[in-house]
Amino acid sequence: MEQRPEDLRGMNTAEAKEYLFHHISALKLTEQACRALDAEIARWKARVDLARSKAAEDLALEAEQELARLQSKREGLAGEAAELRDQIEKMRRNLAGASARERSVDPDLLEQEFRILLGEDLTAEDSPEARTRESFNAIQADAALEALKAKMKGAKP
């Protein structure tokens, strides 16, 4: 399946913005070419009118042919510009979604970053001291549970 020009999948935000910039540049160049053709069309219309006013039908006919060629070219460029505008609009909408997807949070990474900011040693959990501390905590919890069980048995009639 062919990827459409406005499809930004597989690009990060920076790449997508650069891609969008290239399309905007192409649109600006196309619009500039349209303006240049508009000036050329106006010039050839004036030439047709001048040839007709001087009764030079052969020159008027040649000028009309050139005018028709320029107008056809102008229509093609106008269609290209419209297509570029449509693609740019779609890219801008897709870019907003891509930016939102990049801002999603990885909770594990966020937790590690907070622990680093708080100055906790991330490797301390695997140290022998940490394992010993966890073992003592487990023994103390078991002892407290046994004491509670004994107390509850003694409290029953």
CA distance 58 to 21: 47
Helix (H, G, I), strand (E, B) or coil at 55: coil
Q: Above 60 in pLDDT, residue 12?
A: yes
Q: What is the mean pLDDT of residues 131-152?
A: 85
> Tell me, what amino acid is at 155?
A
Question: 37 falls in which pLDDT band (50, 70, 90)?
Answer: very high
CA angle 94, 102, 17 (to 5 degrees): 50
Of 70 and 2, which is predicted with more confidence? 70
The 3-state secondary structure of 127-147 reads CHHHHHHHHHHHHHHHHHHHH
pLDDT of 6:
65
* Tens digit of each residue's pLDDT (9 = 90 or more) over 59-104: 999 999 999 999 999 999 999 999 999 988 888 888 776 666 655 6
Break the chain into its structural domains and give their ranges: 13-103, 126-157
CA distance 156 to 142: 22
Please name the residue ranges forming H helices in the chain: 13-53, 57-102, 107-117, 128-155
Question: 1 falls in which pLDDT band (50, 70, 90)?
Answer: very low
CA distance 66 to 72: 10
- Mutual angle of helices 13-53 and 57-102, in 10-degree steps: 170
pLDDT of 3:
61
